[in-house]
Each structure stands twice: as C-alpha cells, then as structure tokens.
C-alpha cells in the first residue's frame, strides 16, 4: 500500500497508509494552505503558542525534500484529482495572516514556493467585508475570549485606551488655554503699541 506523511495534521487518506514525516524515499508528502492548517490546530484545541514557527518549519522541510527529489509533493486538495482547484481561504484567518505579513513580509515565502497563487486567495477572501464581519459575529463567545487571562488583557487594553483618551482631552484643553492666552497677549501688545505711537509722534 502506498504511504504518505505530512508535517501538519491531515485527515486520513483512503487507500493510503499514514507514516511519520517525512516517510521513506518515494512516498507521498501532503501539504495544505496555512489558513486551513491553523484552523485544524485551533479545532483540535492543542495550540501551544509556537504554531506559526511550526508552520514555517514544516513548509521549509517540504521545500528541502522537494529539492532532494526523493519524494512526491501533493496538495491536500489534489488528492484524487491532480487538477483540483485550491479551496477558498477562510476570511477571518486570511485577515490575520495578512496582518502578520505586514509585520513580517517574508513570513509566508516557504509556502508561496509551493503555492504561488496563495496571496491572491488571501486578498480575494477580503473582497466581501460584510461577509467577513458576519462570519466574525457568528463565532461562539468561547472562540472570541478563550480564557480569563485574555479577558483580563482585553480589559487592561480598554482601560489604557480610556487613559490615553483622557490625556488627549486634557492636552486639548491645555492647548486651547495656551492659544487663548496667546490671543490675549497679542491684543494687549497691539493695544500698547497703538497707545504708544501718538506719544512718539
């Protein structure tokens, strides 16, 4: 029976035997898009905080094995159909991945070597903001605030925002007072100058 492996969680493949990654020479290597892998990790509830590093390390390993030429790489959506089209990217996960790319532009380069059109799918997933917002609204409460620590962090952020708003209001009031004092000073100087000119003449 043909064997397959993957550095990422994948559903069982009918007719193929799963082995530990990277599997023997000549075996099949399966990969999937970052948004789908992240969603699988999230659904499994086993996230440890280093998933993004695992993601990039997995794609780097796949690229290296591909260069060596001893394995066959295939996208998960091509199983059973070598011309299968990749699925649409998840809207919310795509938005977060695009934010990550703004901070680290080369973060997805290892995957883009396998799937060059992926950025287009990420951007396409943002083309309907109303649907994206509705998807976010429909998330269960537990998916938005996963624990008390996150809730505390959110409250602390809100309090810091309120403090900054108060500081901004105080600064605006102070600037208004300074401008008012400047106007009073200019009027006083103008009055003194107009009074002094006839005396000089």
Best-predicted range by mean pLDDT among 38-47, 61-70, 179-188? 61-70
Radius of gyration of the chain measured on its C-alpha atoms: 30
Note down the domain range covering 161.
145-201
Do 115 and 76 lie in one domain? The reply is: yes
Average pLDDT, the chain: 79
Cα separation, 68 vs 12, whole angstroms? 26
Do 13 and 70 lie in one domain? The reply is: yes
E strand spans, 87-159: none
Count the residues in the chain: 201
Cα 109-6-9 angle, rounded to 5 deg: 95
Do 110 and 192 lie in one domain? The reply is: no
Do 40 and 111 lie in one domain? The reply is: yes
Number of domains in the chain: 2
Cα separation, 29 vs 27, whole angstroms? 7
Structural contact between residues 29 and 58, judged by C-beta atoms closer than 8 angstroms: no
Q: In this predicted structure, what is the pLDDT of residue 63?
A: 93
Do 166 and 100 lie in one domain? The reply is: no
Do 164 and 71 lie in one domain? The reply is: no
Do 129 and 201 lie in one domain? The reply is: no
Structural contact between residues 22 and 37, judged by C-beta atoms closer than 8 angstroms: no
The model's pLDDT over 19-59, given as tens digits with 9 standing for 90+, comes to: 999 899 989 999 999 999 988 888 877 667 778 888 999 99
Assign 6 a pLDDT band (cuts: 50, 70, 90): very high
Pick 163 or 194 by higher pLDDT. 194
């Amino acid at each position: 029976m043909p064997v397959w492996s993957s550095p990422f969680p994948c559903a069982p493949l009918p007719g193929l035997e799963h082995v530990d990654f990277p599997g023997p020479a000549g075996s099949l290597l399966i990969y999937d898009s970052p948004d789908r892998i992240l969603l699988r990790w999230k659904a499994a509830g086993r996230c440890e905080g280093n998933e993004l590093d695992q993601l990039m390390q997995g794609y780097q390993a796949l690229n290296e094995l591909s260069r060596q030429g001893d394995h066959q790489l295939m996208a998960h959506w091509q199983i059973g159909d070598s011309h299968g089209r990749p699925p649409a990217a998840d809207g919310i996960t795509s938005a977060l991945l695009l934010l990550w790319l703004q901070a680290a532009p080369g973060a997805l380069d290892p995957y883009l070597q396998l799937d060059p059109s992926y950025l287009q799918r990420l951007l396409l997933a943002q083309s309907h903001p109303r649907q994206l917002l509705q998807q976010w609204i429909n998330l269960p409460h537990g998916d938005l605030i996963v624990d008390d620590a996150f809730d505390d962090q959110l409250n602390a952020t809100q309090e810091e925002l309120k403090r900054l708003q108060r500081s901004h209001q105080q600064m605006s009031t102070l600037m208004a007072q300074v401008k008012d004092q400047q106007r009073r000073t200019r009027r006083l100087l103008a009055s003194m100058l107009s009074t002094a000119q006839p005396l000089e003449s």
